[in-house]
Amino acid sequence: MNQVANIVKIGDPLLKTRAADIDNFGTRELDELIEFLFYNLDHFHGAGIAAPQLGVGQQIFAYGFEKNPRYPNEKPVPKTVLINPVIISSSDETIGYYEGCLSVPHLRGEVIRPRSIEYQAYTPQGKLIQKTATGFEARIIQHEVDHLNGILFPFRMQSLDTLKYSEN
Ligand code: NI
């Protein structure tokens, strides 16, 4: 579905609600939702985008880019879709980073998160995978899993002192 979505913004109840698990693996309907996610990920220059941000309350997100104008210093991240994801462990080592979100436009704020994570998720064909991620990819996954659980990055900030305006 190549259609520009209205991005759901902070304050909408959909972004505070846990999204529903997906069970329609391998269907055309799921393929179209994945296409919709990637189309809007590129259109809005997201690092990642979760289905609830497009008005779809389901446990799925897409992420990845070659070059991202909103995060110009980051190296490419492979384009990936994760379904029903769960973070199963995370490193003791943490790192702070100024996060942004398409649902929280023009704001950035420092969020401290584990540097590395181990996660499980399903592929579009319904295969369970288990992987590790580190650095910016680990941050994206944690931010997007939060979306699926109804949490936006400002609620992860240790202090609102670092909240600041951003042009993009
Ligand atoms: Ni976000």
Residues 6+ away with beta carbon under 8 Å from 22:
30, 58, 59, 60, 83, 84, 122
Distance CA 125, CA 34 (A): 12
Residues 6+ away with beta carbon under 8 Å from 75:
136
Tens of pLDDT, residues 152-162: 999 999 999 99
pLDDT above 80: residue 99: yes
Tens of pLDDT, residues 34-83: 999 999 999 999 999 999 999 999 999 999 999 999 999 999 999 999 99
What pLDDT shows up at residue 21? 98
Ligand 1 centroid to residue 44 C-alpha, Å? 12
Tell me which of 99, 110, 137, 144 is the catalytic residue: 144
Catalytic site includes residue 144: yes
User: The sheet that has 94-99: what strands, in order across it?
Assistant: 94-99, 107-114, 164-165
What pLDDT shows up at residue 116? 98
Ligand 1 centroid to residue 10 C-alpha, Å? 10
**More confident call, 76 vs 1:** 76
pTM exceeds 0.85: yes
What pLDDT shows up at residue 164? 97
On the CB side of 139, how many CA atoms lie within 13 Å of its CA?
A: 22
Ligand 1 centroid to residue 147 C-alpha, Å? 7
What pLDDT shows up at residue 62? 98
Tens of pLDDT, residues 102-143: 999 999 999 999 999 999 999 999 999 999 999 999 999 999
Ligand 1 centroid to residue 102 C-alpha, Å? 6
Strand, coil or helix: 121: strand
Tens of pLDDT, residues 19-34: 999 999 999 999 999 9
User: Between vectors from CA 6 to CA 109 and to CA 154, what angle results, nearest 5°?
Assistant: 15
pLDDT above 90: residue 168: no
